[in-house]
Amino acid sequence: MPGRRILAACLAATLTAALAATPTVAWAASPEFAYDEETWARLKDNVLEYEEIPLLVKEYNPSYQNALETYQDDKTTDDAEQIREDMMESAADLYDQAGDLEDTIEDYGGELGPMYASLSYNASLLRANSLQLEIQADSSYTDSKMQKVQVDKTLSSLTSTVQTLMNTYFQLLENQKVLEKSYELLKASYESTERRMAAQMTTQVDVLNAKKEVQAMEGNLIQMQSSIDSTRQNLCLMTGWDYNGQPEIQEIPALDMSRIAAMNPETDKQTAVKNNYDLIYGGMAYENMVSGSSKENQARTNAEKEQSIRSSIDSLYRAVLQKQTEWESAEAAYTTAVANMSAADRKMQLGMLGNLEYLQQQSAYVQAEANVKIARLALLQAVEIYEWAVKGYIA
């Protein structure tokens, strides 16, 4: 499995010089029998495929492995129960102290006494602190089932993030193609301006302006390459390779449009509410709470969360439709660009078009082609985000 990085830091410290010369290997989170040989072979090769992302994250993502290890090594439910009981006792003590202060008020002349305002304020503050500590005791309590929900949410979050990274990576590559063609056009224009100045058909100022445009585009290309490299490095790190790994990153498969046709916001809202990690966690928290005030607060939080989920499904569905419209518009523009490019090719062959004009047409064609691919990738991303929401994760 070339290019993979060793995730266990303790093992990295014991590597010998001989082993350091060999390709590093990431440790999988699951035992060997978790998948068949074919699946393991695909996960361990030096090829990154979009469809493999969920398993790659699960097996090799360091953040997920850390979350899983923390969950497995975390405090027991008994520990959490004892911590809550101790906090509840402290809350009860504060409540009792408030009662003692209120009894003291009578000793100082009741409401007419000189100490009434101060004692009354302090008693109210103690009761407020008691209630706050009581709610905190309930809120901080987590059992193993609640912790498992958080681990599952982490896996979904990381998987969604990696999908977005890979999508972004290919969008950046398309934008790079546009910049490279624009650079070629600007450079040709600059050279043409120099020739025209030599023939006294333009000025030195025009040459300098054309040169500045070329230099500015060179800067844009450097920035673009930096963004591509950074995105690739993050993509590698999050799927188990070294940051400077060189896996073959395969193209993202075309979107199956039936996924959009299958969307039904009204029914999907119900599924999203049922699956949502935060709402499941909130429901478990509610059931585990012992304080009436805590339960009231959690019930309100859960109700608000449910409404937010329903609203999100509507918004995400509209985003899918918007991206679909943008993709269709890009397709129409690309059809026109193909026709224009074909006409330019014929004129070029007949000597009816100059090199600069031909490069301008090529640039327009490359831009239109990139727009289609970027719009298609953006549509896929919108679909993925919607489907993640239905499955229970909303970024």
Least confident of 123-127, 182-186, 311-315, 319-323: 123-127
Q: What is the CATH number of the domain that holds 244?
A: 1.20.1600.10
Q: Between residues 291 and 49, which one has the greater pLDDT? A: 49
The whole-number pLDDT of residue 363 equals 97
The answer on pLDDT for 20 being more than 60 is: no
Residue 38 lies inside a defined structural domain of this protein: no
Number of folded domains that form the chain:
2
Residue 16 falls inside a structural domain: no
249-276 pLDDT tens trace: 999 999 999 999 999 999 999 999 999 9
Residues 299 and 364 occupy one common structural domain = yes
Provide φ and ψ at 25, rounded to 5°: -130, 130
Same domain, 269 and 132: no
**Residue 24: pLDDT over 50:** no
Q: Is 256 helix (H, G, I), strand (E, B) or coil?
A: coil
Looking up tokens 């990576």 gives: 169
Percent of the chain with pLDDT over 90: 68
Q: What are the residues whose beta carbons fall under 8 Å from the beta carbon of 269, sequence distance 6 or more? A: 309, 310, 313, 314
Domain that holds residue 308: 144-391
Could you say which of 103, 119, 139 is where a domain stops? Answer: 139
* Same-domain status, 223 and 94: no
Domain-ending residue, one of 89, 115, 139: 139
Domain end, chosen from 99, 120, 139, is at: 139
Residue 200 lies in a domain: yes
Q: What is the pLDDT of residue 108?
A: 59
Q: Could you tell me if 293 and 218 lie in one domain?
A: yes
Per-residue confidence at 100, pLDDT binned at 50, 70, 90? low
For 30: left if phi > 0, alpha if psi spans -120 to 50, otherwise beta; the answer is beta
Q: Is the domain of 125 the same as that of 156?
A: no
Give the pLDDT confidence score for residue 44 in this predicted structure.
93
Residue 365 resides in a domain:
yes
- 278 and 169 within one domain: yes
What are 21-30's contacts with CB under 8 Å, separation 24+?
Answer: 24/242, 25/1, 26/1, 26/59, 26/60, 26/240, 26/241, 28/59, 28/60, 29/58, 29/59, 29/60, 29/64, 29/65, 29/68, 30/58, 30/59
**27 is a domain residue:** no
Residue 31 has pLDDT above 70, yes or no: yes
Please report the pLDDT score of residue 136 as a whole number: 67
114 and 226, same domain (yes or no): no
Question: Is residue 157 in a domain?
Answer: yes
The answer on 106 and 254 residing in a single domain is: no
Given a cut of 60, is residue 75 above it in pLDDT?
no
Task: Please choose, from the candidates 137, 174, 340, 191, the residue with its C-alpha nearest in 3D space to the C-alpha of residue 252.
Answer: 174
DSSP letter for 244, please. T
| Average pLDDT of span 45-56 | 97
Say whether pLDDT at 172 is over 80: yes
Residues 218 and 361 in one domain: yes
Task: Specify the pTM.
Answer: 0.82
Q: Does residue 201 share a domain with residue 89? A: no
pLDDT at residue 198 in the model = 95
284 and 341 assigned to the same domain: yes
pLDDT, tens only, 334-369 = 999 999 999 999 999 999 999 999 999 999 999 999
Within-domain flag for 57: no
At residue 5, the pLDDT reads: 40
Q: What is the pLDDT of residue 106?
A: 65
More confident site: 141 or 350: 350
* Percent of the chain whose pLDDT exceeds 70: 77
Q: What's the pLDDT at 161?
A: 97
Side-chain-side CA neighbours of 326 within 13 Å: the count stands at 16
Query: Which of the four pLDDT bands, split at 50, 70 and 90, describes residue 79?
Result: low
The pLDDT of residue 33 is 86
Pairwise CA distance, residues 133 & 254, whole Å: 53
pLDDT digits (tens, 9 = 90+) for 210-249: 999 999 999 999 999 999 999 999 999 999 999 899 999 9
Pair (166, 242) in one structural domain: yes
E strand map for the chain? 47-48, 248-249
Residue 66 lies in a domain: no
pLDDT grade for 17, boundaries at 50, 70 and 90: very low
Distances (CA, A) of 56 to 51, 63, 158: 9, 12, 11
- Report the pLDDT value the prediction gives residue 125, as an integer from 0 to 100: 73
Q: By three-state DSSP, how is residue 301 classified?
A: helix
The answer to whether residue 13 scores a pLDDT higher than 60 is no
Q: What is the mean pLDDT of residues 28-35?
A: 86
